[in-house]
Structure 1
């Protein structure tokens, strides 16, 4: 039996086939890039078109089918971006674009006060009353003049179109900021703050839920007609599992479109969770594990922007220009060009550079921005280690890390003296989703 794994990311859609040991099948990968709609006026808007996104995924599946790669698929797994929200009308049609994690426009309504006990709320939900989460996003969407009948996430909309029914996994639900992460139920206070009831948000997927393709899509891809579709897991959780960072001895630092540092810990349903430091979030991998960490709006997007705007070469030529620059010497950078991820509230456009002179080169500016990300990660890794009372090993991964050996070395220097490994797999999200679907999430990458 093979597994079809989908990675429903911010900048691309990918579909990949694995065998029953979660080993990638040769050449069975299809990818479609996807451009966020970024507001030109620096207002912080960052949205996706749900219909175009679905079409991109379908094109990936058509490509795999044409190549004969969808034979013997028994399970379909998905790694999907956390935190998105899509307002729907009573017929389930989108009332606007998908508001993504990168959108910094949502703000609390005038006079709103948030949770009665913010610390208790943070401990229950693993989140904050913040523009990143549905507690702020849903009232903000209504304030735009929309009258949604209900709300869903991007992945739930996409899977709902394909399957007809797509309840929200506890992993995706934890990214909304509305879930009690221990009880695995919608949190009553969070729903009240968001101004909704359980009728307005997706149903939560029961333990063991599996879906099937709707007839029209089963006719399009008959090879998938009998396949079981698993609930999607958050992309950050999938990246940890795919990187082999599956327990509290090893953290994952992943740099894809954005960047994050995360640690997975066992946490069966209903078991009291350990105290959560204020600077960290906590979401669910699945019913059996939580993932704790911090994330940043700057990552591979910063790498691509800086290389393009500074007119630097790509690939090996870029590495050659960097080879004589010592990391953390010279230019210093605040890399928050896209604003803060929670709990910070800095808006888009908060990046800054210092230590610049007339002799500063474009390559030195670039290096300063990349090491600025390393410094942010180190600070939160130290907080993360305080939750387990020991120094952890680290696995570096993600497409941006793979693209730049110099940046990888900078991370290694910043994180020393910790043991730092590097996973070469650029598809750790797909790999992690496949491992969870197969019940092999404790399998390490070696």
Structure 2
């Protein structure tokens, strides 16, 4: 009697070890960036295929939750709903940096903070100059200010085999400040008519959330319903709903009590990050990046002042802002560049920061409610981000070759005399 092999269920639930492996992979920014890139490519191919009408129908399909006063399209659910998870994780990371990370002390935070602020101000200024010179609208000034950390870290990971670890730390700290700036911009400048009753309800929900944290109350059954209700009230108040996500992330405790294995913020980030990186952000990209690309559409990117301002802001603005901001801070303040980094590394990183995707697309949709204008801005974000990624890849690969050569020389010296050259001549990083 032949023994039949058990049949595997197509698209069934993965075994527990495989599910653990997938979620751990999604907790790394590199894998999250690659998933995001895949979703963006699928959106572009789908929107420019014979099935583009199906893409539009799905994106614009409406469904709602009457009890919460919500009736949104699929596209808006991903931008206003799922993206709140992304901002929740961003808020937790920001809180951690402020309490126990690089932003805790002014000395270590000065350079990346100044770099991030200049990296937001200069792109906005270049956009304004371009738009004004061309007789365009200033509404999109905030679009080129945002850096997509998942994309940027994914590109850095692919390139970096020998680049200093300090480069990634600098980029992470810069991105945290960049995210905070984007959140404040959305909250202050892209708020529609306020419903003060709903806003008061959202604020009360955040106060209750804070009180539960201070009282050390545990249990998801307290926080999940409260979080959803607060998010819905924030949406109905006229303030962009993602602000609720970052506010709750900032409220979550970032330090451990005695006997705790991890802080509440760390536990929530550990659980939510795979969902954010593997579901929320890719779905947002899928329904935000579906731009009909044609010669005419690309022509608008380089002829209309608003899209052109976005491209110039992302590519030239980020380079000038971040590099000059870092240099001036190191030159005229007590802040010091990490000795493992050279100015060539900072220039490559500044170019890499021109990859603006998730938040840039979101701000583009908020700044240009008209569908046609929004399509041109989205195309500009894609063109600018792609250009920045290519330039950064060229620059950082060159820097990577420099560090690889230094590493090989140290290996040869160590083989020759048994003493690593790094201990004889100092670090190989700075000044090269």
TM-score, normalized by length of structure 1? 0.25
Higher fraction of strand: 1
User: Relative contact order (C-alpha < 8 Å, sep 6+): which is higher?
Assistant: 2
More helix by share: 2
Radius of gyration: which is bigger?
2
TM-score, normalised relative to structure 2: 0.25
